[in-house]
Structure 1
C-alpha cells in the first residue's frame, strides 16, 4: 500500500557557500576550545510525499534504469553476532548474488557492512566504533547517498589493485531485513531518474583513521520514492550509489522512514547492509 511520509533532508545554509558541510565522528578535544563543532549540517523535515509500494511490482525495477532492484535470496546464515562468520559466509553469498543478478561483473571488493536495529537508542553525541562491525546502529533517517564520486575514487585507490579504474565501476549496496515482515522504519529508495546533480550536496565524514565523503540531499518536488511493504528476509534490495558508465542510472538517495501507522506490538526492525565495489570484466 502506498503511504505518505515526511523525509528528513538537508536544509541549505548560506554558510555552505564558503564552508563545506561536515560531520566529525571522533571525540573533539574540549581543550581545543568551546567553539569547536562536530558538525555544521542542518537537517529538517521535508513536505509530505508519497512513498510508492513496490509489492506486486518487484520485477518492474532494474539497476541500470531505476538504480535499484528487488531480488530473492535465501541466506544460509543463522546467527549474525559473529563478524568472522558474516565475512566468511554472508559476504560470499552476496558476491554470488551480485554475479547472478548484475550484468558484467568481473571483480567484487567489499568495503563495508553494518547491522542496524530500530531498538538502538542513538543519542546525539554517541561515538560510533566504525572498526567494530558489530557496533549496531539505528536506522539512518537522513536522505543520503553513501559515496560521492570523489569518495569512490579514493576508496578504489586505497583498497583495489592499480589499474582497476580503467573498467566500469559501480558501488552497489545489498540491503536485507534480518527479521520480517518489516513493520517499523522500512527503507525508502528514490528513483535515480528523478535525481539531479543540483539536489546533492557533498559532505565530509571525518573518522579517526579515514575521511570519506557522502551526499546529503535537498528536497525536490520531482523525487519519486518507493519501498517494499512487509519486506521479508529473503527479499533483498540492491541499489546503486555510483556508476562510472554514462547513460546508466547513477545513484539512489535513500533513507529509513516512519510508517504513518505502526503496530504497537510490531517487532523492531533489524537489517544488514553490505557495500560493494563492482568492476566490469573489461
Structure 2
C-alpha cells in the first residue's frame, strides 16, 4: 500500500545526558537458520527461546524532556496523557466496554484514522505469578523485539479486518498502522519499565525475523540484533494516566518508522521491595483512508 504523505526525517542523534541510565538489554544473536520462539500460549508458562541471546549494556535516555516533539512516524513511539474511566483493568468486561473505545478515540486523534480495530488485550506483571489473562498469566517480555514484521503485519491485518476489506483498502491506497497502547495498571512504575528504540536508529539488517509458534498457527515477529548507534529511551515512573503508543507495523514503506523495537529492562538501583510492574497493552490496527 502506498500514500502521498511525506516521510518524517530522522532526528539528530541525542548524546547521553545526566537523565540517562545504563542497563542491559537482551538482543538476539543472528544465526544461519530462522529462529523459533514457542509462545506462552503453547508452553503454558514462559515463552521458550530456541535461539541465543546476548545482554548488552546500553544508555537509555529519559524521553520526557523530548516527549512533545516525538512522533510515531519518526521515533516510532509517543508518550501521551490519557486518563481512563476504567477503575479495574483486570475487569475484562470493563476493558472491552469502556477501555477499547477510549483507545480507539485516542488513536483516531493521534493518527487521523477513520477506523481503529482493537484485536487483543494483554496484561503483564513482573510478580512471580505474572498477570492474569484469559489465556494464562503473562510476565514482561525480556527480549528486544517488534510484535510484527513486513510479512506478518499485513497478514494479521487481513485476519482482523477481513481479506475483502484489506483488498478494498489496498485498491484505494489506504494506509494501515499497527499500534500498541501500553499503560501501567498501577503507578508509578518502579520495576521493569519499557525501553524503546528510536526506530530511525535501527537498520533493517538488525531486525531478525523469528517464527512465533502458537497452538493453532505460526506467527512472525522481529528480534533485534545489537548494533552501535541504536538509540534508546524510556519514561521513568510512568503513571496510570499515561500511555505509550508504539508502532509495530506500517503499510507505508517510504522511510518513516515502520517497526519499533522494545523490551522490559531492569534499571540500575531498582529496589527489590518496590511494587511489581503491572501493565496492560492493547493491540490495534488504525485505518487511514
Normalised TM-score (structure 1): 0.86
Give unmatched runs, 5+ long, in structure 2: 1-18
For the pair 1:43 / 2:57, whether they are aligned, the reply is no
State the match for 2:21 in structure 1: 3
Q: Which secondary structure state, in structure 2, belongs to the residue aligned with residue 90 of structure 1?
A: helix
- How far the C-alpha of 1:108 sits from its partner, in A, is 1.2
- How far the C-alpha of 1:3 sits from its partner, in A, is 0.2
State the match for 2:69 in structure 1: 60
- What is the root-mean-square deviation of aligned Cα atoms in Å? 2.0
Q: Distance in 2 between matches of 1:226 and 1:253?
A: 11
State the match for 1:78 in structure 2: 87
Q: Select the residue among 223, 230, 245 that pairs with 2:230.
A: 223
1:209/1:164 CA distance change after superposition, 3 Å: farther
- The superposition leaves residues 223-243 of structure 1 with CA deviations (integer Å, 9 ceiling, x where unpaired) of 000001111111111111111
- The superposition leaves residues 164-199 of structure 1 with CA deviations (integer Å, 9 ceiling, x where unpaired) of 334111111111111111110100100010011100
Q: Which secondary structure state, in structure 1, belongs to the residue aligned with residue 122 of structure 2?
A: strand
State the match for 1:99 in structure 2: 108
State the match for 1:89 in structure 2: 98
Aligned residue pairs: how many?
259
- How far the C-alpha of 1:43 sits from its partner, in A, is 1.5
Q: Select the residue among 229, 237, 241 that pairs with 1:234.
A: 241
Q: Select the residue among 91, 111, 118 that pairs with 1:110.
A: 118
Q: Distance in 1 between matches of 2:96 and 2:219?
A: 22
Q: Select the residue among 252, 259, 271 that pairs with 1:251.
A: 259
- How far the C-alpha of 1:66 sits from its partner, in A, is 1.2
Q: Distance in 2 between matches of 1:54 and 1:154?
A: 32
Contact 1:114–1:134 (CA under 8 A) maintained in structure 2: no
Contact 1:120–1:137 (CA under 8 A) maintained in structure 2: no
State the match for 2:185 in structure 1: 178
- How far the C-alpha of 1:273 sits from its partner, in A, is 0.7
Q: Which secondary structure state, in structure 2, belongs to the residue aligned with residue 111 of structure 1?
A: strand
- How far the C-alpha of 1:134 sits from its partner, in A, is 6.2
- The superposition leaves residues 114-152 of structure 1 with CA deviations (integer Å, 9 ceiling, x where unpaired) of 000110347xxxxx99xx546331111100000012111
Q: Distance in 1 between matches of 2:75 and 2:146?
A: 15
Q: Which secondary structure state, in structure 1, belongs to the residue aligned with residue 65 of structure 2?
A: coil
Give unmatched runs, 5+ long, in structure 1: 29-37, 123-127
- How far the C-alpha of 1:24 sits from its partner, in A, is 2.7
Normalised TM-score (structure 2): 0.84
Q: Distance in 1 between matches of 2:100 and 2:228?
A: 37
State the match for 1:275 in structure 2: 283
- The superposition leaves residues 40-81 of structure 1 with CA deviations (integer Å, 9 ceiling, x where unpaired) of 3211212x1100012333212111111111110110011122
Contact 1:172–1:240 (CA under 8 A) maintained in structure 2: yes
Q: Distance in 2 between matches of 1:59 and 1:235?
A: 13
1:230/1:39 CA distance change after superposition, 3 Å: closer
